[in-house]
Amino acid sequence: QVELVESGGGLVQAGGSLRLSCAASGRTFSSYSMGWFRQAPGKEREFVAVIKPSWIGTDIYYTNSVKGRFAISKDNAKNTVYLQMNSLKPEDTAVYYCAADIDSGVLRTAPGEYDYWGQGTQVTVSS
């Protein structure tokens, strides 16, 4: 069982920044792929970013709408994954979730392919 706890959400003006954190339990955190997803009211949960361990370090992938603005990182010593969000836009408003893929043989972007989820943290960007 893996427990994920997100923090760092809040209200920010357009153009501002937030850093989300996701603390994970589990003795083999370093082997997990960790993803960030978001869900706006009335919309389906969508992929934001993923960081996956690889033999050369890590593989990282972003959805197009956040490339150049968001950065995902992972601190295995702290069992924590981060999402640094810069140049925020009103359309980034959503509940943000972190998720763990414990069988991280491939890089995954579909919510159904992740094994564990946090409770979510609200991000609201005002115009």
Give per-residue pLDDT as tens, 50-102: 999 887 788 999 999 999 999 999 999 999 999 999 999 999 999 999 999 99
Q: How far is CA 69 from the centre of its chain?
A: 13
Q: Rounded to whole angstroms, what are the CA distances from 38 to 97, 111, 120? A: 6, 10, 9
At residue 118, φ and ψ (nearest 5 deg) are: -85, 180
Q: Are strands 10-13 and 121-126 parallel, antiparallel or unpaired?
A: parallel
Question: Which of 80, 82, 87, 63 is CA-nearest to residue 72?
Answer: 82
Yes or no: say if 36 and 18 are a contact pair by the CB < 8 Å rule.
no
Query: Which of 4-8, 104-108, 120-124 is least confident?
Result: 104-108
